[in-house]
Amino acid sequence: MSEKNQKNQPSLWEGFKAFLMRGNVIDLAVAVVIGAAFTNIVNAVVKGVINPIVGAFGTKDLEGYKSCLKGPCTADEGIEILWGSVLSAALGFVITAAVVYFLMVLPMAKYLARKAAQDAAKDGTQEVLELSELEVLKEIRDVLVAQRGSGPGTGTGSTEA
């Protein structure tokens, strides 16, 4: 590479610094830290509350449930399938997803929709574009019926608008 090309390109350090100073990188780092802390809370709830409640219907804590794949399950022989741990992890995932959706995603979506409606009302250009699913499906049905009625083989040859 010539010296002229090297002077026009930012240095490795400058590029790295610009990458780190972007707002979305900082937001992502904060989200990862908060997510890790939240995961610890959910895991504690699952292990301390959910597992014992589910285990109350059986004979032990949920994490203790296992099956033996081959032979008797002793320290020296047998292959254990720890399905209780898998079920516990799945419950933790479902609880985490539900909490994130109902406490973060849904309220944010409602807030953004409300804000968009307020902004549109301020501009005075709000048009009624929202159709119910039933209305949209009726329109699609009507178009398909019209196409079928004027399609090849029907002999009409005219289209309805």
* Alpha helix stretches (DSSP H) within 46-132: 51-56, 83-100, 106-123
> Residue 10 to residues 6, 16, 25: CA-CA distances in angstroms?
8, 10, 20
Percentage with pLDDT > 90 across the chain: 2
Percentage of residues in the chain having pLDDT higher than 70? 78
Q: Which residue has the higher pLDDT, 160 or 62?
A: 62
pLDDT given at position 130: 53
Total residue length of the chain: 161
Q: What is the mean pLDDT of residues 154-161?
A: 48
Mean pLDDT, range 65-77, rounded to an integer: 75
CATH topology of domain 11-107: 1.10.1200
pLDDT at residue number 157: 47
Q: Does the pLDDT value for residue 7 go beyond 70?
A: no
Residue with tokens 């109350």: 56
Q: In the prediction, which pLDDT does 103 show?
A: 81
Residue 30 pLDDT: 80
pLDDT at 151: 57
- Which pLDDT belongs to residue 24? 75
Rounded to the nearest 10°, the torsion over CA 115, 121, 126, 131 is: 50
pTM of the model: 0.48
Query: Would you kindly state where each structural domain of the chain is located, as residue ranges?
Result: 11-107
Task: Give the C-alpha separation, 144 to 13, whole Å.
Answer: 60
pLDDT in tens, 87-128: 888 888 888 788 778 887 888 889 989 988 888 777 665 444
Mean pLDDT within 146-160:
61
When pLDDT is cut at 50, 70 and 90, the band that residue 78 belongs to is confident
How far apart, in Å, are the Cα atoms of 93 and each of 40, 70, 102? 12, 30, 14
